[in-house]
Structure 1
């Protein structure tokens, strides 16, 4: 998803470093929403989590952070699907409909 490949090294900012640490802790086959990541940090800044992921998230498992609907990061659906299948992440839909992650089955509680 992210354009930067330097990961946490380029983040510098404490919030960004904390976001990346939470994302790194999500186990294979599980996901968190942008809001879940923010809440784990005691914040409501889900859009800021998205910005951190866009700029610094290339070195972490970015596909494990999804939209509140369960849809993967925008414009990265195809590559994310490969990761989900490899990790056995529970999915809904597909075929003629866009797929999404089954949040009821795959949501990770980092607390």
Structure 2
């Protein structure tokens, strides 16, 4: 991912409000990234300073190897988690910067 695109992805993730989640695909679409996997790769390589826990799989499930920490952080923000999944009836709104 080129630096400009990576910066757009970072800005979108930073703009996700507390208590809100987006899917990798939603972040990718907002940033103009063709593949949600690129968002996941950026978070795994350089996401420590981002609210990475607010980005989930499209089905509302967390990143497998970080599931316990991710769900704990989301619960602390008031996100409802049922059976290890965040239920969303519709996509969340996040303002692009």
Do the two structures share a fold, i.e. TM-score over 0.5? yes
TM-score by length of 2: 0.87
If you compute each CA radius of gyration, which structure gives the higher value, 1 or 2?
1
Distance 1:44 1:90 in 2: 30
Residue number in structure 2 paired with 1:109? 93
Please state how far the C-alpha of 1:52 moved relative to its aligned partner: 0.7
- Name structure 2 gaps, 5 residues minimum: none
Compute the RMSD of aligned alpha carbons. Answer: 1.9
Matched, 1:76 2:61: no
**Runs of 4 or more off by more than 6 Å in structure 1?**
none
TM-score by length of 1: 0.77
Q: Structure 2 matches for 1:47-86, cutoff 5 A?
A: 47-86=37-76
- Name structure 1 gaps, 5 residues minimum: 1-10, 94-98
Matched, 1:28 2:13: no
- Number of residues of Structure 1 aligned to a counterpart in Structure 2: 95
